[in-house]
Structure 1
Amino acid sequence: MARKGLRICMVVCCVLIIVVTIILVTISLTILKPKDPDVSIHPFGLDNFQIIQPNATTVPLGLVITIVNPNYGRFKYRNCTGYLSYHGAMIAEAKLVTGIVPARSTFNITTIAGIMNQKLMDDTQFWSDAEAGTFNFKTKIALPGKVIMLKIFKKKATVQVACDLSFKLKLTSIIVHSSCISKIKL
């Protein structure tokens, strides 16, 4: 009689382990599967922004990087540097300090990019772009860090961001348009 009870207990335990394993695998492949964040870049402080300053080596450009994290895990990134290029030449760096992007939320990073105005003005297309009133820049940022789920699971990840940033100069204002593509690599 005791052996029959032991067999029933073992069968029930095995079935339970199989069911729990199937549920955990299903959850990890659907809900916990990492999704690419939605990233956008918005310049600020453009009211007094002057790209041509003959005596200055760098011109500060304020940037707000908005990250929308659709994942169920938070992302803790380390110090890194973003780069701003103009027609393929790197003209500015922006330092990003360590931070945590909470799960399923929006997070803003504020930074200053120091545009090397002499390097910008030395570009052969600068003056034709200035006449047209349109400047097109590209940005690249790699945020290395860890994805943390349920305060238990930690996995190294890097978020790669590439953006096109366009400035249209009007008589009374500057119109900015940004378009970003981001990928998370585990």
Structure 2
Amino acid sequence: MAETRRRSRKALKICCGVSAIVITIILVVFITLAFTVFKPKNPLIIPQSARLQNVQFQMFPSLTLNATLGLNVTVQNKNYGGFQFDNTTTYVDYRGIGVAEVPLERGSVPARGELEIYSVANISADKLLLSPYFWDDFGSGGFNFTSTTNFQGKANFLKVFKLKAKVFATCHISVQILSQHIQVNCTSKLKL
């Protein structure tokens, strides 16, 4: 009987040791994956097209300026988790003065997928003309705008973990008046 107890204790110690080693290996693999493969990455915002539409400029009998800025971007999600965002608003500024607000409807970007976003901003001429830089920029033939968007929602990792997440997106938009050539550069930052 003593021999049986010794064998069962030895087997129990071996079982506990093997279990501890397996759990340690699983934890090391999980932590390694969490800091490498599953580490949250900023989404890419790639401008596809931008166009200036309905441009109307009149100096007499009163100064008026109306324009519509259309912007089409692709959001690439490089993460292994999807992102669902709520309704939000894109704000367009000209040298620190808000000149347009564009509502964006809720949506989602799939894991390792893309989302096309098309937005149209009606530029408020009254606010644009308030800037002391307007005539200098008009004379140089170009305007620089900045659009900012704060996407708030949830990131879903492996359809198990749901975390609150925010994506801050900024686009710098340079518009040449005569050629109506538009150059767009965007950046984004993910915050969990």
TM-score range, shorter chain: 0.7 to 0.9
Q: Decide whether the 8 Å contact of 1:68 with 1:106 is kept in 2.
A: yes
- 1:157 paired with 2:165, answer yes
* Contact 1:44 1:61 survives alignment (8 Å): yes
Secondary structure of 2:152's counterpart equals strand
Once the two structures are superposed, the pairs formed by residues 1-186 of structure 1 within 5 Å of their partners are: 1-41=7-47, 44-46=50-52, 48-50=53-55, 52=57, 59-170=67-178, 173-186=179-192
Return closer, same or farther for 1:117/1:160 CA change in 2, 3 Å cut-off: same
CA distance in 2, matches of 1:131, 1:68: 37
2-side partners of 1:148 and 1:51: how far apart? Answer: 45
Structure 1 unaligned segments of length 5 or more: list them: none
Kept after mapping to 1: 8 A contact 2:55/2:65:
no
Shift of the alpha carbon at 1:56?
8.6
| Identical counterparts, % of pairs | 36
Q: Residue 65 of structure 1: CA displacement?
A: 2.9
Superposition TM-score, scaled by structure 2 size: 0.85
State which structure, 1 or 2, has the greater radius of gyration over its C-alpha atoms.
Answer: 2
Q: CA deviation at 1:162?
A: 1.9
How much has 1:34 moved relative to structure 2? 0.7
Label 1:58 to 1:65 Cα distance change in 2 as closer, same or farther (>3 A).
Answer: same
Which secondary structure state, in structure 1, belongs to the residue aligned with residue 24 of structure 2?
Answer: helix
For residues 80-116 of structure 1, give each alpha carbon's deviation from its aligned partner in whole angstroms, at most 9, with x where no partner exists.
1110011110000011111111122232112222321
- Per the TM alignment, residue 13 of structure 1 is displaced from its structure 2 partner at its CA by 1.1
- Which structure 2 residue ranges, 5 or more long, are not aligned? 1-6
Distance across 1 between alignment mates of 2:160 and 2:65: 47
Structure 1-normalised TM-score?
Answer: 0.87
Q: In structure 2, the residue corresponding to 1:49 is in which secondary structure?
A: strand
Aligned length: 183
* AA of the residue aligned to 2:110: P
